[in-house]
């Protein structure tokens, strides 16, 4: 395995008395496409939100691209709590696509995509527009640049959200159940875009989904998470056809029959 681009080292996350992650060890290699599956409430979104710096950690260390995410080096082998400047720098390595799209409702599609590249990366407006139009072409929405989110279907909005995340040129793209909020007939068009990204880009992808067939198709590796730790992981053809752990077998039976 090449050097991991993401590494959770004995990470704990507590909300008050509730322990969500308990000594989680988890790695993703550069360019790898990894899917996280597991029951509701098992900590899947929390893992992504920690990486996106939307939630901090209670214990352990998260490494992204060789650097601690929630800490900064303080001397040779000591770590101290990360400063806002460090978090800001680290955030630039990651993008996230949420279940509920989260587009800015008062901005056009084009502006949704150019806003952060202009404000955060300092691109000129023409540069940001060029980049945005290229991405809209990639997600099949070139003709929709001047529309507002409410004028589009959920599937189209989610494709814009993917373009918006890519406009920041992240090394790692996180997807939290990107098709769960969509009407069934719109799931395919969003999966098609993600599939294209998975096959044609060297982007590292970490995806949470309940779409097992899709997970099997696009993942190099599938991790079954239960109660905040990796219960079983493997190549999709192994994990889906011959899960070893009773808990994994039970989960897969329930979702595949359901
Ligand atoms: P999943 O995505 O696997 O369904 P989550 O990571 O969203 O699970 O949540 C894991 C657990 O953490 C759940 O029990 C949830 O209620 C709890 N949790 C998540 N966020 C918070 C929060 N901000 N405050 C308190 N509890 C939370
Ligand atoms: Mg979740």
Mutation pick for ligand 1 pocket among 14, 15, 209 (CB with most ligand atoms within 8 Å): 15
**Which pLDDT belongs to residue 74?**
85
Residue nearest to atom 27 of ligand 1 (CA): 15
**Which pLDDT belongs to residue 258?**
61
Cα 180 to ligand 2 centre (Å): 10
The DSSP secondary structure of 134-185, one letter per residue, reads: HHHHHTT-GGGTT--GGGS-HHHHHHHHHHHHHTT--SEEEEESTTTTS-HH
pTM of the predicted model, to two decimals? 0.95
**Which pLDDT belongs to residue 77?**
83
How does 43-74 read in b/e, with b if 16+ C-beta sit within 10 Å?
bbbbbbbbbbbebebeebebbbbeebbbbbee
Query: Which ligand approaches the C-alpha of residue 43 most closely?
Result: 1
Residue with tokens 């999709």: 236
Cα 44 to ligand 2 centre (Å): 5
Ligand 1 pocket by Cβ (under 6 Å): 15, 18, 20, 38, 40-46
Atom number of ligand 1 nearest to Cα 46? 6
Q: Beta 94-97 vs 172-176: how paired, if at all?
A: parallel
Mutation pick for ligand 1 pocket among 8, 12, 19, 20 (CB with most ligand atoms within 8 Å): 20
Cα 176 to ligand 2 centre (Å): 7
Q: What letter would DSSP give residue 119?
A: H
Query: Which ligand approaches the C-alpha of residue 24 most closely?
Result: 1
pLDDT tens-place values along the chain, 258 residues long: 567 999 999 999 999 999 999 999 999 999 999 999 999 999 999 999 999 999 999 999 999 999 999 999 888 888 899 999 999 999 999 999 999 999 999 999 999 999 999 999 999 999 999 999 999 999 999 999 999 999 999 999 999 999 999 999 999 999 999 999 999 999 999 999 999 999 998 999 999 999 999 999 999 999 999 999 999 999 999 999 999 999 999 999 999 876
Cα 49 to ligand 1 centre (Å): 10
Cα 14 to ligand 1 centre (Å): 10
Residue with tokens 């008062």: 106
Q: Between helices 184-200 and 154-166, what is the axis angle to 10°?
A: 20
Sign of the CA dihedral 106, 107, 113, 118? negative
């Amino acid at each position: 395995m090449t050097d991991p681009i993401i590494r959770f080292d004995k990470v704990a996350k507590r909300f008050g008395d509730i322990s969500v992650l308990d000594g989680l060890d988890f790695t993703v290699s550069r360019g790898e496409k990894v899917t996280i599956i597991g029951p509701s409430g098992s900590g899947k979104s929390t893992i992504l939100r920690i990486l996106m710096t939307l939630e901090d950690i209670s214990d352990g260390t998260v490494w992204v691209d060789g650097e601690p995410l929630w800490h900064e080096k303080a001397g040779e082998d000591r770590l101290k709590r990360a400063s806002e400047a460090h978090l800001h720098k680290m955030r630039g390595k990651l993008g996230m696509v949420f279940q509920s799209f989260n587009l800015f409702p008062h901005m056009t599609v084009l502006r949704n995509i150019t806003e952060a590249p202009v404000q955060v990366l300092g691109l000129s407006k023409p540069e940001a527009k060029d980049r945005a139009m290229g991405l809209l072409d990639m997600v099949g929405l070139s003709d929709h640049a001047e529309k507002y989110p409410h004028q589009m279907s959920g599937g189209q909005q989610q494709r814009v959200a993917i373009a918006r995340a890519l406009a920041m040129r992240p090394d790692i793209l996180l997807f939290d159940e990107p098709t769960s909020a969509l009407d069934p007939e719109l799931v395919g068009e969003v999966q098609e875009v993600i599939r294209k990204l998975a096959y044609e880009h060297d982007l590292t992808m970490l995806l949470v989904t309940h779409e097992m067939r899709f997970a099997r198709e696009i993942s190099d590796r599938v991790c079954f998470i239960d109660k905040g730790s990796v219960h079983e992981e493997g190549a999709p053809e192994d994990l889906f056809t011959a899960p070893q752990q009773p808990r994994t077998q039970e989960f897969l039976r329930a979702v595949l029959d359901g």
